[in-house]
């Protein structure tokens, strides 16, 4: 009755079923579709064309009603269509021949579709057996074929097998998988459509990088779905069908349950419209009303501010789906056929916002280009933006390529946004930021790209040893305030309190709170904050994660700290040595190795000497062996070596130790580590002027060299280092560069051209700061 009233009002027809039907008959399909889609204000439709109807228009036909139309492929229907066909040689289908045909078809259309969809819930339920065997599937296939044609697959083993084959393809081609969950038609056993049954799939390490969206709000299992989205990174939610099918109370309560735990950037609108254009209109109209009601209550309850609620609405109705389905130009486009008033189409203010495209250059400086959101969606997300080759070769003192870098004014690379990193800017919520890869063309990395260098090294570690390196950074920085002295601006520490001072924390508390909240909004976990020993110095500790993600997190963290400090009228600097008579600032990195999610740097039991596994010792030995040349990447400025001095807890000599703060490599057992074991080791030399991707790539390469050569880790030094018995690490960038020039372990991991550029930048730094002794003071504006 409610929907009938809504449709009659839209059409201006008599308020009765007969009146609406008469209007539809007189107007015709084209006219009513145009009316419904204009009123719905939908910018993109993704259609599951596996739904069987007596007659239906093809996908292309829908393009006259909305700017973007795409296909979702229903995997069970594809499997049935394949089995309905006979093999060319007249033989019977086997699991091998079916798998080959099925997987081949999925791969062949991977570039034409926006995602896959499974209705396993309708057939055999969501308790997918992740260990289903070929033998089980073969028997299931035999039973299905015996039932005759047209084929309908209902055998659980075969359904599970098809699901897992599809999920593997989806993951490898970075396609999302839609899964029907919760209520449906009467042939669905709702006891088996609870998304909690998917636990085996979600826990299976083979599918951890998949992207799964639970459809229909999983109603009546909305709370269960919300929980899954909160604990599994690969789970997203879609509330189509629950809205508009339920009562108003039901829609609102289901939506609130979804948002009880689920991250807001994982909840997506869809109409679940099908068969009738009115279903698209009703889904869009009621979704707007319900989301408004829920967000209004959230504001009243204090969960959200009004500006935050506005951003949430944009996420739910547009941005989340754009990112999830990789839609580059669906939202904010006013289609040419629209006759609606402009005010109905400008809801996202898309032309008023900007997207910052971030990269880190060869000297470790953060740089960005900004483009309007609409251009980003229409062009840049797919094609990138041009950037002169020369920019990677800039030094810390001049925006021009270093002599001998091989990079000149000729040629451009492409900055290709990594859409998985696209995020709202916490201190400027109107805009977004995204990290970029440097590419020759979309899909082909430029050989100088720092992010790709780290990915390549990580892939070698994974392919050869089935290992991942985890990293967590401790970021030290100094907060400076501006004063005017004799008519000139000077920047001095805003505080002079000692180490772990409460008064220093109180003084910086507004900044530190906002930094922590901003990082939380970016999904970056802060483990600790405290005042450090230097004047105006603080430390911010990030939770460890896989090293590629850790480098991204570090880049975002530096952006956050500097921006929030600037917002409060201060300048935050990560310069290694702000004042030569005070302590320096590092970016100490804690490292470990994992295999299948388990820490394998740590020994398996207390019988291992020093509590470190054999793998861990060999990896650590490689890093210790190559540390003098690694310093050119992780301590890349002459100013870095003013920090790396004896008796400053920064690591001046070549050794490792157990909980020895003077060791450049410190084995550590934080609270919670079993007695006698070591969970990770810390590298003290890494500082805030280093490019995190190149720094971690160099460390990885050295560790891999240690694993390949099975290098032995020397005995630890657990006393204050003795200069007479220990080798001094490079005391200058010049010495570290000399060590790098004599060491060839990096050639497999970084291109010769990239190494040439890095060495040229380092030489330029040495020459400049040797001639200009006070020039380091300007580095506070660059790092």
pLDDT in tens, 264-279: 999 999 999 988 999 9
Residue whose structure tokens are 């659980």: 156
The closest alpha carbon to 272, from 45, 58, 41, belongs to 45
CB-CB contact of 449 with 468 (8 Å): no
Contacts 24+ apart (CB under 8 A), 192-196: 192/121, 192/124, 192/125, 192/126, 192/127, 193/121, 193/125, 193/126, 193/218, 193/221, 194/126, 194/218, 194/221, 194/224, 195/126, 195/221, 195/224, 195/225, 195/228, 196/221, 196/224, 196/228
**Pairing state between β 354-360 and 366-372:** antiparallel
Q: Which two tokens stand for residue 183?
A: 């209520």
The model's pLDDT over 277-334, given as tens digits with 9 standing for 90+, comes to 999 999 999 999 999 999 999 999 999 998 899 999 999 999 999 999 988 633 333 3
Which residues fall within 8 angstroms of residue 568, CB to CB, at 6 or more apart? 510, 511, 514
The closest alpha carbon to 350, from 386, 322, 389, 369, belongs to 322
Helix pair 75-84, 156-172: axis angle to 10 deg: 110
Q: Is 450 left (phi over 0), alpha (psi -120 to 50) or beta?
A: alpha
**Cα-flanking dihedrals φ and ψ of residue 735, to 5°?**
-65, -40
Q: How far apart are CA 494 and CA 769, in angstroms?
A: 27
Judged on CB neighbours under 10 Å (0-12, 13-18, 19+), 755 is middle
181-195, 347-361, 579-593, 675-689, range with the lowest pLDDT: 347-361
The closest alpha carbon to 557, from 513, 524, 529, belongs to 524
Q: Which two tokens stand for residue 219?
A: 């109603």
- Residue 216 confidence (pLDDT): 94
- Residue 178 confidence (pLDDT): 96
The model's pLDDT over 379-430, given as tens digits with 9 standing for 90+, comes to 898 899 999 999 998 999 988 888 998 888 888 899 999 988 999 899 988 8
Helix pair 29-40, 2-11: axis angle to 10 deg: 110
- Selected residue with higher pLDDT from 707 and 381: 707
CA dihedral of 768, 774, 778, 779, whole degrees rounded to 10 = 70
User: Distance between terminal CA atoms of the chain?
Assistant: 63
CA dihedral of 299, 300, 303, 305, whole degrees rounded to 10 = 40
Averaged pLDDT, 118-146: 94
Residue whose structure tokens are 């007189």: 26
**Three-state secondary-structure class, residue 508:** helix
Sequence-ordered strand ranges (E) for 139-297: 177-179, 212-214, 235-238, 240-241, 267-268
Q: How far apart are CA 12 and CA 745, in angstroms?
A: 76
Q: What angle do CA 12, 17, 18 make, to 5 degrees?
A: 85
- Residue 184 confidence (pLDDT): 86
> pLDDT class for 168, splitting at 50, 70, 90?
very high
CA dihedral of 211, 216, 220, 226, whole degrees rounded to 10 = 30
Strand partners, 179: 118, 214
- Residue 346 confidence (pLDDT): 41
> pLDDT class for 57, splitting at 50, 70, 90?
confident
Q: Is the pLDDT of residue 141 over 90?
A: yes
**Three-state secondary-structure class, residue 675:** coil
CB-CB contact of 483 with 571 (8 Å): no
- Residue 339 confidence (pLDDT): 33
Q: What is the 3-state secondary structure (H, E, C) of 103-154?
A: HHHHHHHCCCCCEEEECHHHHCCCCCCCCCCHHHHHHHHHHHHHCCCCCCCC
Q: What angle do CA 727, 730, 734 make, to 5 degrees?
A: 150
Structural Rg of the chain based on CA atoms: 29
Q: Is the pLDDT of residue 651 over 90?
A: no
The model's pLDDT over 74-109, given as tens digits with 9 standing for 90+, comes to 999 999 999 999 888 888 999 999 999 999 999 999
Q: Is the pLDDT of residue 347 over 60?
A: no
Averaged pLDDT, 722-727: 90
Q: How far apart are CA 590 and CA 27, in angstroms?
A: 68
> pLDDT class for 257, splitting at 50, 70, 90?
very high
168-182, 205-219, 339-353, 467-481, range with the lowest pLDDT: 339-353
Q: Is the pLDDT of residue 542 over 70?
A: yes
Round the average pLDDT of the chain to a whole number and report it: 90
Sequence-ordered strand ranges (E) for 563-642: 571-573, 587-595, 598-599
**Three-state secondary-structure class, residue 720:** coil
Per-residue exposure over 657-682, b if at least 16 CB sit within 10 Å of its own CB, e if not: bbebebbbbbbebeeeeeeebbbbbb
The full DSSP string for 294-326 is: HHHHHHHHTSS-HHHHHHHHHIIIIIHHHHHHT
Which residues fall within 8 angstroms of residue 253, CB to CB, at 6 or more apart? none
Tell me how crowded residue 491 is: count the other CB atoms within 10 A of its CB: 19
Element (H, E) at 491: strand 488-493
Q: How far apart are CA 512 and CA 523, in angstroms?
A: 17
DSSP state of 728: B
- Residue 511 confidence (pLDDT): 92
Q: How far apart are CA 306 and CA 302, in angstroms?
A: 10
Q: Is the pLDDT of residue 251 over 50?
A: yes
The closest alpha carbon to 200, from 249, 251, 163, 145, belongs to 163
- Residue 260 confidence (pLDDT): 93
Q: Which two tokens stand for residue 555?
A: 């880049």
The model's pLDDT over 749-768, given as tens digits with 9 standing for 90+, comes to 998 999 999 999 999 999 99
Averaged pLDDT, 355-371: 94
**Pairing state between β 423-424 and 444-445:** unpaired
CB-CB contact of 331 with 350 (8 Å): yes
> What is the widest separation between alpha-carbon atoms in the chain?
99
> pLDDT class for 349, splitting at 50, 70, 90?
very low
Q: Is the pLDDT of residue 114 over 90?
A: yes
Tell me how crowded residue 201 is: count the other CB atoms within 10 A of its CB: 24
**Cα-flanking dihedrals φ and ψ of residue 288, to 5°?**
-60, -45
Q: What is the 3-state secondary structure (H, E, C) of 119-131?
A: CHHHHCCCCCCCC
> pLDDT class for 67, splitting at 50, 70, 90?
confident
The model's pLDDT over 605-643, given as tens digits with 9 standing for 90+, comes to 777 888 999 999 999 999 999 999 999 999 999 999 999
> pLDDT class for 484, splitting at 50, 70, 90?
confident
The closest alpha carbon to 772, from 364, 360, 395, 366, belongs to 395
Q: How far apart are CA 60 and CA 64, in angstroms?
A: 8
331-335, 346-350, 563-567, range with the lowest pLDDT: 331-335
- Residue 328 confidence (pLDDT): 64
My answer on whether omega of the bond before 150 falls inside 30° of 0, hence cis, is yes
């Amino acid at each position: 009755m409610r929907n009938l009233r809504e449709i009659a009002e839209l059409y201006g027809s008599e308020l009765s079923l007969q009146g609406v039907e008469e209007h539809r008959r007189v107007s015709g399909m084209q006219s009513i579709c145009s009316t419904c889609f204009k009123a719905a204000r939908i910018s993109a439709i993704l259609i599951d064309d596996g739904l069987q109807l007596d007659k239906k228009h093809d996908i292309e036909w829908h393009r006259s009603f909305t700017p973007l139309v795409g296909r979702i492929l229903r995997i069970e229907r594809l499997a049935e269509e394949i089995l309905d066909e006979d093999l060319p040689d007249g033989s019977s289908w086997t699991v091998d021949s079916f798998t080959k045909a099925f997987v081949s078809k999925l791969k062949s259309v991977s570039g034409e579709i926006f995602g896959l969809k499974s209705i396993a819930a309708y057939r055999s339920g969501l308790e997918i057996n992740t260990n289903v065997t070929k033998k089980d599937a073969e028997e299931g296939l035999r039973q299905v074929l015996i039932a005759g044609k047209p084929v309908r697959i209902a055998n659980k083993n075969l359904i599970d097998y098809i699901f897992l084959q599809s999920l593997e393809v989806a993951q490898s081609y970075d396609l999302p998988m839609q899964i029907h969950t919760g209520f449906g038609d009467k042939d669905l056993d709702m006891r088996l459509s609870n998304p909690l049954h998917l636990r085996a799939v979600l826990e299976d390490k083979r599918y951890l990088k998949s992207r799964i969206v639970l459809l229909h709000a999983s109603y009546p299992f909305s709370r269960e779905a919300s929980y899954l989205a909160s604990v599994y990174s690969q789970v997203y939610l879609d509330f189509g069908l629950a809205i508009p099918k339920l009562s108003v109370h039901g829609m609102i309560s289901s939506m609130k349950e979804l948002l009880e735990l689920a991250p807001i950037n994982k909840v997506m609108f869809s109409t679940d419209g099908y068969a009738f254009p009115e279903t698209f209109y009703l889904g869009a109209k009621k979704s707007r009303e319900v989301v408004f009601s829920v967000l209004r209550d959230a504001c009243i309850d204090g969960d959200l501010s009004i500006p935050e609620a506005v951003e949430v609405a944009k996420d739910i109705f547009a941005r989340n789906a754009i990112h999830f389905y990789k839609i580059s130009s669906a939202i904010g486009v006013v289609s040419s056929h629209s006759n609606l008033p402009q005010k109905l189409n400008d809801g996202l203010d898309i032309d008023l916002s900007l997207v910052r495209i971030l990269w880190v250059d060869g000297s470790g400086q953060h740089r960005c280009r900004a483009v309007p959101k609409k251009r980003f969606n229409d062009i840049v997300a797919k094609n990138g933006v041009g950037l002169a080759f020369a920019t990677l070769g800039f030094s810390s003192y001049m925006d021009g390529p270093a002599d001998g870098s091989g990079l000149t004014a000729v040629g451009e690379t492409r900055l290709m946004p990594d859409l998985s990193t696209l995020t709202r800017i916490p201190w400027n919520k109107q805009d977004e930021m995204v990290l970029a890869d440097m590419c020759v063309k979309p899909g082909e990395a430029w050989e100088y790209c720092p992010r790709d260098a780290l990915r390549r090294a990580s892939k070698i570690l994974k392919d050869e040893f089935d290992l991942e390196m985890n990293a967590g950074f401790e970021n030290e920085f100094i907060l400076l305030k501006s004063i005017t002295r004799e008519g000139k601006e000077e920047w001095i520490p805003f505080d002079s309190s000692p180490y772990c001072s409460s008064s220093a924390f109180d003084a910086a508390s507004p900044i530190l709170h906002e930094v922590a909240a901003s990082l939380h909004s970016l999904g970056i976990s802060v483990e600790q904050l405290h005042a450090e020993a230097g004047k105006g110095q603080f430390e911010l500790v990030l939770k460890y994660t896989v090293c590629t993600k850790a480098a991204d997190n570090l880049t975002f963290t530096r952006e956050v700290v500097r921006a929030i400090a600037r917002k409060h009228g201060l300048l935050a600097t990560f310069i290694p040595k702000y004042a030569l008579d005070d302590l320096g600032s590092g970016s100490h990195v804690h490292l470990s190795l994992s295999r299948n999610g388990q820490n394998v740097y740590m020994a398996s039991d207390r019988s291992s000497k020093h509590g470190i596994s054999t793998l861990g010792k060999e990896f650590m030995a490689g890093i210790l062996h190559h540390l003098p040349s690694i310093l050119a990447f992780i301590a890349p400025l002459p100013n870095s070596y003013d920090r790396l001095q004896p008796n400053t807890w920064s690591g001046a000599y070549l050794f490792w130790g157990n909980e020895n703060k003077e060791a450049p490599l410190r084995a550590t057992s934080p609270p919670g580590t079993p007695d006698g074991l070591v969970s990770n080791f810390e590298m003290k030399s890494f500082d805030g002027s280093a490019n995190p991707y190149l720094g971690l790539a160099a460390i990885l390469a050295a560790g891999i060299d240690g694993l390949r050569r099975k290098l032995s880790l020397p005995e630890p030094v657990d006393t204050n280092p003795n200069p007479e018995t220990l080798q001094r690490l490079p005391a200058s960038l010049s010495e570290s560069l000399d060590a790098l020039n004599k060491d060839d372990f990096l050639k497999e991991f970084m291109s010769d051209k990239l190494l040439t550029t890095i060495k040229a930048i380092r030489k330029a730094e040495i020459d400049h700061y040797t001639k200009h002794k006070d020039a380091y003071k300007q580095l506070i504006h660059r790092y």
